[in-house]
Structure 1
Amino acid sequence: MLRITKQTFLLAGITALLAACGTTAEPSASAPHLSAQGNTTSTTNIKMTTAETAGSFGAWATGSFGVWAAGSFGAWASGSFGAWASGSFGVWATTFEDGTPNPLHNNVEEWNQIRLAGAHTLAPNLGKDVTVAVIDTGIDLAHPALSGTLSPESTWWDYVSGDRNPGEMGTASDKAYGHGTAVAGIILQVAPNARILPIRVLPPSGEGTSTTIAKAIIHAVDQGAKVVNVSVVADKDSDISKAIEYAALRGVYVVMAAGNQGLNPVQFPAAKSAQTNTPGLYSLSVGGIELNNRKSSYSNYGAGLEVMTPASDIVTTYPKGEIRAVTGTSFATPVASGVLALALGEGYSADNAGELTEKLKLSEQNVDIENHDLVLLMEKKALGFGLLNAEAFLKSIK
């Protein structure tokens, strides 16, 4: 029985992880770019970037996991993650029934940390009929693990090429190549029956503009998305804030990355999610946390941070049918997006309509003790509401 550790498949991507650490590699829009972090109020076209860390896309050491065309991802695509609903971790065994090594087994500790198995028991629909928009570098539309999980083609859009083919472009040498595919794979591990709406706003360089991303958020809402994942950051406020307001007024949640500078405060557009107005109630900022409940060194914190989820060495999908281990707040964000999809796929108390992000925050696990050194340096909350607890959240909304 073969067991592959995360350390093994991160070797090839360690340089990238270091480069992105402190500047989370998240999709950015170029034109002026959306870069992460900043407090300037402006509605001009801002440069934006992805929020993964340098070296985020750790390669499998031997490349032997490069092709999954034989159907090894079949258990994922066919909805076999339903096993989680019964508390069974069979699908996460180190090998599939045919003896093929199962790399997704390496995420079990992270999913245990956020109590995902318990959440799946409480949300047996596993996000069914909930569309989650991935506003990013596009996705590998032919990836076996994503087969059957996408929204209708008529809803897709590529703002870079100006067509309906939001597939990943570029090569592995490009900074953000595979970013969107990785994000989509994480959402589907958390909410296996959700639908992914792919919207490409960034080229493989990972840099784009705020204007494009704002248009993409509005498009996602108009196409029926209930959750919008935005794993991009900038150093200024922008017209994205207006797009988030558009989403909020229509009951759509927007989940955003805190940024990877390792600094206080979090970057835009996530920086404004902690507001108490309607856009604030329908948006969520997400930072990264380690298995020991310490804040990820690269994750931004302080003002604007609301919740934290696992974000380091998460095994997920990668273009050309591959899988990679990824790191950065770009990948913490889809964990929270997936948990919201679980809630939206169930019948919850009418009293909680429009209150899901607030209920999610109030269900979190305080991690101030594990981060006492950081907490002591700040007069106000440094780590938002703490570690996301998916099971407690699902219980709270029944």
Structure 2
Amino acid sequence: MRLTRSAFPLFTALLLAGCAAPTAPQAPAASGEYVMTVGTPDPALSDAQLSARYGGALVIRTPRFALLRVTGRPLRSAALERAPDVTVERNTDVFRVPNFSSSGTVGLWGSGTVGLWGSGTVGLWGSGSGASAANTANYAEYTSIGLDAAQARITAQNRTPGAGVTLAVIDTGVDLNHPAFAGRLSPANTWKDFVDNDALPQDQGQMGTGAVGHGSEVAGLSLTVAPGARVMPLRVLDEQGGGDVDDLTQAIVWAADHGANIINLSLGAGEAVEAVTQAIAYANSLGAVVVASAGNGGHEGLDYPAAEFGLTSNNLAVGSVNHAGSKSAFSQYGPLTLLAPGEGLVGPAPQNQAAAWSGTSMSTPLVAGSVALAMTHGLARSAADSAERLKGTAQNMGGVSGNANYTGKLGVGRIDLDALTR
């Protein structure tokens, strides 16, 4: 199948402009929409009473936190006195994908063609693993992490890598009709489009524009590693890659409430967002592991929420390397957890196409899929325990050419699925 060369910008780190004041929030400006995060809302208050107390419209409520929308008016001082753990942040269009471009190694569809499809069709997507085309095109990358050996060992146990595991992809949606996803999505009653507020999280728009296809690629890469897993598609980003805080927060809670074991966030922000931090903690409390991308700015310091993960037990911050193990030029570094290949990875794209992408957005689903794979190897284990096993068997990349300047800033190393299952 031939792909047209396109100067299509890579979905990169999302930029956040927000304000957080944990003890004495300032009133929002006279116009615009904000979200208010209330920690541990009083269980004695009804939803209506909670809204009345804080002067906002209730969006979502959990035992851990509540989220309300506040539109262009001051907060009520009495409410602030009663609840100092209130954070007010900008909501609409907070998450934004800039028009990112580079010398050609990042942000483009690769060479313009993929010459390994044979028949010129995407029929290979349905050949059993659902990812044989991508496996062939990404042979060097997947060999570097021992994918073939790991899948063979699990198959020898009469199991399918990732079987019984639900992996939520919170992104631009998924091409629901792509053959790569036939029989590989969670039940339709678990899908949600938070942008259009309906039940069809379709990765829509014209390929080669905005962030169209990003979610399909991410979902496909996770299934390449764990073909037996089921993807829960949740759409929070529009065709341009922009989204709101309340949509992302709701999607994380939705994923956890609907049984997601793993949540993939191939997105980020320049600053911490309290609502999202609380939602991730809520998901962790229900047993879900969150995997997030480091960002594609090439500098030290990670985007959020990955920057908050470090080496915590529940969540994973992912950076990118090439198949030789050298840090990708675009990958941010610092308090990473793990590394995975992220350059020129081929995956499914809307309208039954395939495309090659680069970025930590692509490394992240390889790690998320690896957690799913680990959950089906040997004795049944939780997602959190499987994430720990993945870290414990990672291969240190400190001695690899090009990595000398990043000592102590590349996490525990590159995922090694051969070692994981050996």
TM-score (norm 1): 0.78
CA, structure 1 residues 258+80, in 2 after alignment: closer, same or farther (shift >3 Å)? closer
Partners of 1:52 and 1:330 within 8 A in 2? no
How far did 1:103 drift?
6.0
More helix by share: 1
How far did 1:355 drift?
2.8
User: What residue number does 2:51 align with?
Assistant: none
CA, structure 1 residues 103+200, in 2 after alignment: closer, same or farther (shift >3 Å)? closer
CA, structure 1 residues 50+113, in 2 after alignment: closer, same or farther (shift >3 Å)? farther
User: What residue number does 2:333 align with?
Assistant: 301
How far did 1:290 drift?
0.8
Match of 2:210 among 175, 183, 187: 175
Partners of 1:69 and 1:144 within 8 A in 2? no
CA, structure 1 residues 167+271, in 2 after alignment: closer, same or farther (shift >3 Å)? same
Partners of 2:288 and 2:383 within 8 A in 1? no
Residue 207 of structure 1 aligns to which amino acid in structure 2? Answer: G
Residue 25 of structure 1 aligns to which amino acid in structure 2? Answer: T
User: What residue number does 2:262 align with?
Assistant: 227
User: Are 1:368 and 2:398 an aligned pair?
Assistant: yes
How far did 1:199 drift?
0.3
User: What residue number does 2:388 align with?
Assistant: 358
CA, structure 1 residues 360+340, in 2 after alignment: closer, same or farther (shift >3 Å)? same
Equivalent residue of 2:123, what SS?
coil
* 1:232-251 paired onto structure 2 within 5 Å: 232-238=267-273, 239-251=275-287
Rounded Cα–Cα distance in structure 2 between residues aligned with 1:137 and 1:237? 21
TM-score (norm 2): 0.74
User: What residue number does 1:292 align with?
Assistant: 324
Match of 1:333 among 340, 343, 364: 364
Rounded Cα–Cα distance in structure 2 between residues aligned with 1:205 and 1:53? 12
CA RMSD of aligned residues (A): 3.1
CA, structure 1 residues 215+357, in 2 after alignment: closer, same or farther (shift >3 Å)? same
* 1:1-398 paired onto structure 2 within 5 Å: 12-13=5-6, 15-16=7-8, 20=10, 25=12, 34=16, 44-45=89-90, 47-49=94-96, 54=101, 56=107, 58=109, 61=112, 71-75=123-127, 78-79=128-129, 102=133, 104-124=135-155, 125-238=160-273, 239-274=275-310, 280-302=312-334, 304-348=335-379, 354-370=384-400, 371-375=402-406, 381-395=408-422
Partners of 1:130 and 1:226 within 8 A in 2? yes
User: Higher RCO, 1 or 2 (CA under 8 Å, sep at least 6)?
Assistant: 1
User: What residue number does 1:85 align with?
Assistant: none
Rounded Cα–Cα distance in structure 2 between residues aligned with 1:108 and 1:267? 29
Residue 258 of structure 2 aligns to which amino acid in structure 1? Answer: Q
Residue 295 of structure 2 aligns to which amino acid in structure 1? Answer: G
Rounded Cα–Cα distance in structure 2 between residues aligned with 1:204 and 1:299? 24
Q: Which has the larger radius of gyration?
A: 2
How far did 1:170 drift?
1.6
How far did 1:369 drift?
1.5
Stretches of structure 1 lacking an aligned partner (at least 5 in a row): 82-90, 92-101
Residue 107 of structure 1 aligns to which amino acid in structure 2? Answer: N
CA, structure 1 residues 57+126, in 2 after alignment: closer, same or farther (shift >3 Å)? farther
Rounded Cα–Cα distance in structure 2 between residues aligned with 1:53 and 1:347? 43
Equivalent residue of 1:233, what SS?
coil
How far did 1:123 drift?
2.6
Moved more, 121-130 or 161-170: 121-130
How far did 1:174 drift?
2.4
Partners of 2:122 and 2:353 within 8 A in 1? no
